[in-house]
Amino acid sequence: MPLRLILAVVLLLCAGGTARAHLVSSSYLYLAMTQGGARGQWDIALRDLDAVVGLDTDLDGSITWGELKAKQAAVESYALSRLGLSAGGRPCRLRATGFLVDYHAGYAYAVIRFDAACPAAAAPLVLDYRLLFDIDPTHRGLLTVAGSGGVQTAVLAPDASRVAIAPAAQTKLGEIARFLLFGFNHILLGYDHLLFIAVLLITASLRRPSGTRWIPIDSLGRVISETLKTLTAFTLAHGISLTLAVLGIVDIPGRIVDPAVAATIMLAAVDNVQPFLMRTRWGIAFAFGLVHGLSFAAALGPMRLPAADLAIALGCFNLGVEAGQAALALLLVPITFTLRVEALYRRLMAPALSAAAFALAALWFVDRVFALDLLSLHPAAPLLAAMAPS
């Protein structure tokens, strides 16, 4: 019995057991260049601000406009203190000019509008972004800069927090690479999405004729082919719903989408033990991928990109997600293919791993339905999560 391989499967599939449920943390920063600096708009998720400023003052699990408005000064101070603009080494002066709330892909965001007054003769501008990195290194800032030379985009991260503002200098190749990497990193940080794919891969090397137990698939080529079909179906489906959500055609509240993602994991795990869904794994991946795509939509949000640039961002993001899924498959498929001939794996290990995935997804489901936020990525977050303001 290849014990080390069994242990590897357990570690890979149960790694999410100690990981906290992942809700995407992204902010959207838009700068329109002016003669003396820039006009900006910064959209920051309420659940992120609640973790650092404390918006839900009555701890009832929802943030009202009154609660948000009462903390306006604290929110603006916190945000603008973590954003720097400089020209020729000399700092620009940031001044808040507007404060409101908006929804993107079903999630509530505080919207801070501001002006940046920069030294007139100094150039180019350099942006320094430090929002939330001290408590959540997985946070990403999506930057769009509109200037006379064109549009510039950037994905801001702890190791890429400084950007020289030069829209005319940005190449399409750089934009493609940027969103490919963003999609790849996004799926690797999306523990719930990874767990769903892992649940499908538990039985990737097995087949179950009607009325019989799981039996091994003899051909590695067939396993690889079916796995590719499953991953591609998932990517195609979430690409469809992601695009519809980003374009504003579909808008479902995050408090519905997040529990639904957890529910897809639970259903797929049950199907591994007692089949009741469609026979094809790729069919399940496509159907449930439509749900996951609504969750992915918060990753791109309102970037205000021209149509061509938005198409590049969406396409490359999806390809990056597909690459991340393929990386997981490269780890798991050889292990499950080796173990498929072992009766212990088919009759005990695969059901046990599916049950563990079900239990973890059930915990996420309860956490998200009741907005407990017990599994938040933010160590400073209060127990009750931010929901949509009334």
Note the pLDDT tens digit of each residue in 243-288.
888 888 888 887 888 899 999 999 999 999 988 887 788 999 999 9
SS3 226: helix
Q: What whole-number percentage of the chain has pLDDT above 70?
A: 85
Residues 33-80 have pLDDT tens digits of 888 889 999 999 998 999 999 998 888 778 899 999 999 999 999 999
Per the prediction, the chain carries an average pLDDT of: 84
Residue 363's CB: how many other CB atoms inside 10 A?
16
Q: What is the pLDDT of residue 201?
A: 93
C-beta separation of 292 from 193 below 8 A: yes
Structural tokens at position 63: 């943030």
Respond yes or no on whether the N-terminal peptide bond of residue 306 is cis (omega within 30° of 0): no
In whole angstroms, give the CA distance from residue 252 to residue 263. Answer: 16
Q: What does pTM read for this prediction?
A: 0.77
Give the max Cα distance, the chain: 78
Range of lowest pLDDT (88-97, 195-204, 248-257, 279-288)? 248-257
Name residue 260's amino acid.
A
Mean pLDDT, to the nearest integer, of 193-220? 87
Q: What is the pLDDT of residue 35?
A: 85
Q: How confident is the model at residue 89 (pLDDT cuts 50, 70, 90)?
A: confident
Q: What is the pLDDT of residue 228?
A: 92
In whole angstroms, give the CA distance from residue 310 to residue 306. Answer: 6
Residue ranges in 274-349 assigned as alpha helix (H): 281-300, 307-339, 343-344
The distance of Cα 248 from the centroid of its chain, to the nearest Å, equals 18
- Residue 212's Cβ-count burial label (10 Å; 0-12, 13-18, 19+) is exposed
Q: 186-200 b/e with 16+ CB inside 10 Å = b? A: bbbbbbbbbbbbbbb
